[in-house]
Amino acid sequence: MTDRDRLQDGLRHLGVALDQGQVTALLAYRDLLVKWNRAFNLTAVREPGEMIARHLLDSLAVLPHLDDGDTLDVGTGAGLPGIPLAIARPGQRFVLLDGNGKKARFVRQARRELGLDNVEVVHARVEQYRNAPSQIISRAFAALPDILAVTEPLIAPHTRVLAMKAAAAERELAELPAGWTARVEPLSVPGLDETRVLVIIRRSQ
């Protein structure tokens, strides 16, 4: 099975309908990640085929839970999940934020090469960012209480925080401060035999 077939098969399992141009863009992003990873150590995943499940499909598994408002990807790293989501949602605006200079340079290069006009890359710490989005998403960024601590100035009553977690995160949920409500949605990622969940957090009404 080719990488394109593996990606398309995974998209079918997720129920995500993308055109061939979007599939090509996802694979082009994966290829850029492989190329830059040799010099910049952007991700611990080295094998190109493994990146399809662990990076592309893992990122896209949250699409059913994403609204269509402006989205801030906090601690985007190598552009995950922001770049795959921006490819899948070309009409939606994504801001990809990271304090690591070399990772921000890579994401800017990926944005240019892939022609992602709906992506803005910001090299800054979360505490320095001031524009409140409709939703905030993070993947492998920090524990839930720490995510809320650094993003709280950006969280309006309507803002949702979507935290992608590799486990059920019961301990982190138990440590949420007062004033927040959380809902846990299980995620099924084709090709990964590991637990994935999405924790959706809002201010309590």
Residue 80 marked ligand-binding: yes
According to DSSP, the β-strands at 71-74 and 94-98 are parallel
SS3 89: coil
CA distance 116 to 108: 10
Residue 203 marked ligand-binding: no
As separate numbers, helices (DSSP H) first and strands (DSSP E) second, the chain gives 8, 7
Residue 139 marked ligand-binding: yes
Lookup result for tokens 């409140």 = 132
Q: Indicate if the alpha-carbon torsion angle 67, 73, 78, 80 is positive or negative.
A: negative
Residue 170 marked ligand-binding: no
Residue 196 marked ligand-binding: no
Binding site as annotated, residues for S-adenosyl-L-methionine:
75, 80, 126-127, 139
Detail the residues annotated as belonging to a binding site.
Answer: 75, 80, 126-127, 139
